[in-house]
Chain A
Amino acid sequence: MEHNWDFATIFTNWRVYWVGLQGTLLMFGVTATLGMCGGLIIGILRYIRHPAAAWPARAFVEVFRNTPVLVQIIWFYYAFPILTGIETSPFVAAALGISLNTMAFSAEIYRAGIQSIDKGQWEAGKAIGMDFAQTMRRVILPVALKRVLPALTNRGIEVFKMSTLASVVAYVETLNQAKLIADLNYNPIESYTAVALIFFVVLYPVVQGTYALERVLNRSDR
């Protein structure tokens, strides 16, 4: 079938997309920050294997890694308010779901990074009189973080794509805005193609950047 591509309505409505992209960026910023900072704490808790911390940390990671993000978002939107009496806005529900999921995934990345550090580093830290927290902060983490940087950036890319799931609970982000335009102008082809292109244009350079980063890190390790 012949289709006359008409991107004119997309360009005249660029403000609608712009509002959506801002929503996407806000969601990404909040969830990536919360997820990766919280993940570091949980990752360390997973590493130290303290009896009081190990079990809850493991349960947290398993629950949020082994359930789909969409289920988590919907649960926080529809079920959580009934359970606690706290109303969750679309933003809060989506941010909770994506952040907790990201925390669980990045916790495992941090843990792997910390575990990959040679035992001798711990002993050296202890030998010059540092306690656990000091050794962790000054010796172990700087090296471990460098090692997990590629894995973390990959997670970040996943988080950015995950933000589209917030549209399911009607949070205003790029995909949600495209849906609006498609319904108003009857142009689903152009409006959804535009979203795909927006994500591609934003993420493609980032992905290329991670490849370059990996190469640089590989070289500096040797």
Chain B
Amino acid sequence: MEWNFAPVIVSLDLLLLGLVNTLKVTGLALSLGVPLGLILALSRLSRQRPVSMVSAFIIEFFRTTPPLVQLFWFFFAFPILFGINMTPFTAAVVTFSIQSSAFFAEIFRGGIQSIDHGQWEGAKAIGMTRNQSLRRVILPQAVKRMIPAFMERSIELLKTTTLVSTIAYADLMYQANDIAQRTFRPLEVYTVVALIYFVLIFGFSQLSIMVERRLAKSGEGTVG
């Protein structure tokens, strides 16, 4: 067995392009998934039972079904059902936004519920409505507690985006498959790609550990 990295090095620009696409899907899904998660969490905490039940169902459904099944559904079934064209990119962004929003919703809920009830009462006492107290008093404190759980979930999301390679979106994993098939060098290609993912994800993990330590010092526990 002889290692030969030359074919990989020649295709490094393609891998880089894949990496950019991976980060693009992750970033977009994150920026849509977080607000969507907040909406889901607030409606789950709503006092109107139908609203809370519907959002609880959405959250549980997307947490209990495999992301790959959801991706296939949004790519193969959704376009026929609604007569909309779905590129692999939009299917990926839609799937991962909704999928991660279900997990973010649970983090938001945990954070909001972890805030002492006295804070709500205090806000009410000085005349704030429920919405105002949520926005001005509860969420600012809750979000700080949720940061570690958020970062962990975002790293999970980054790993999950490898699934888009199965519907032929040119992310890092897809580029690897492509190069491996063309160069007949799967060992080197997949090893290098595994290393790229490792460096990326390990870096983010270390960053989140650092942030968590700093938050712990400033007297905030973790939630979720």
| Residues in chain A within 8 A of chain B (CB atoms) | 1, 3, 62-63, 65-72, 74-75, 78-79, 82-83, 85, 157, 161-165, 167-168, 175, 178-179, 182, 188-189, 192-193, 195-196, 199-200, 203-204, 207
Are A75 and B190 interface neighbours, CB within 8 A? yes
The 8 Å CB contact of A157, one of B64, B76, B80, is B64
Output the nearest chain A residue to B185 by Cβ-Cβ distance: A82
Knowing A157-B64, A203-B64 touch, does A71 contact B193 (C-beta < 8 A)? yes
> Roughly how many angstroms separate A189 CA and B77 CA in the complex, as a whole number?
4
Report A-chain residues with C-beta under 8 Å of the C-beta of B5: none
CB-contacts of B48-71 with A (<8 A): 60-61, 63-70
Which are the 6 A-B pairs with shortest beta-carbon distances?
A1-B83, A78-B186, A188-B76, A203-B64, A161-B66, A68-B159
- 25 A/B residue pairs, CB under 8 Å, sorted by A: A66-B197, A66-B205, A67-B201, A68-B159, A68-B162, A68-B173, A70-B162, A71-B194, A74-B173, A74-B190, A78-B180, A78-B186, A82-B186, A162-B66, A165-B68, A175-B66, A188-B76, A188-B77, A192-B69, A195-B72, A196-B70, A196-B73, A203-B64, A204-B60, A204-B64
Are A200 and B64 interface neighbours, CB within 8 A? yes
Report A-chain residues with C-beta under 8 Å of the C-beta of B66: 161-164, 175, 199
Are B194 and A75 interface neighbours, CB within 8 A? yes
Besides A74-B190, A188-B72, A189-B80, 14 new A-B residue pairs in contact (Cβ under 8 A), listed by A number: A1-B82, A63-B198, A66-B202, A68-B160, A68-B162, A69-B159, A71-B193, A82-B187, A167-B68, A175-B72, A196-B69, A196-B73, A200-B65, A203-B65
| Interchain nearest-CB distance for A212 vs B (Å) | 15
The 8 Å CB contact of A1, one of B81, B160, B194, B197, is B81
Output the nearest chain B residue to A72 by Cβ-Cβ distance: B194
Knowing A161-B66, A164-B68, A192-B69 touch, does A71 contact B81 (C-beta < 8 A)? no
Report A-chain residues with C-beta under 8 Å of the C-beta of B61: 196, 200
How many B residues touch A, CB cutoff 8 Å? 40
| Interchain nearest-CB distance for A119 vs B (Å) | 21
Describe B's contact surface by its main secondary structure. helix
Output the nearest chain B residue to A63 by Cβ-Cβ distance: B198
| Interchain nearest-CB distance for A207 vs B (Å) | 6
> Roughly how many angstroms separate A82 CA and B183 CA in the complex, as a whole number?
14
Are A161 and B65 interface neighbours, CB within 8 A? yes
Are B162 and A71 interface neighbours, CB within 8 A? yes
Are B191 and A75 interface neighbours, CB within 8 A? yes
Are B65 and A66 interface neighbours, CB within 8 A? no
Report A-chain residues with C-beta under 8 Å of the C-beta of B126: none
**Interface flag for B10 (CB, 8 Å):** no
| Interchain nearest-CB distance for A180 vs B (Å) | 13
Output the nearest chain A residue to B74 by Cβ-Cβ distance: A192
| Interchain nearest-CB distance for B219 vs A (Å) | 21
Report B-chain residues with C-beta under 8 Å of the C-beta of A189: 76-77, 80-81
**Interface flag for B166 (CB, 8 Å):** yes
- In this complex, the member of B67, B72, B76 whose beta carbon has the largest number of chain A beta carbons within 10 angstroms is B72
> Roughly how many angstroms separate A79 CA and B70 CA in the complex, as a whole number?
28
Are A193 and B73 interface neighbours, CB within 8 A? yes
Report A-chain residues with C-beta under 8 Å of the C-beta of B80: 1, 3, 188-189
Output the nearest chain A residue to B181 by Cβ-Cβ distance: A78
> Roughly how many angstroms separate A110 CA and B83 CA in the complex, as a whole number?
49
| Interchain nearest-CB distance for A142 vs B (Å) | 26
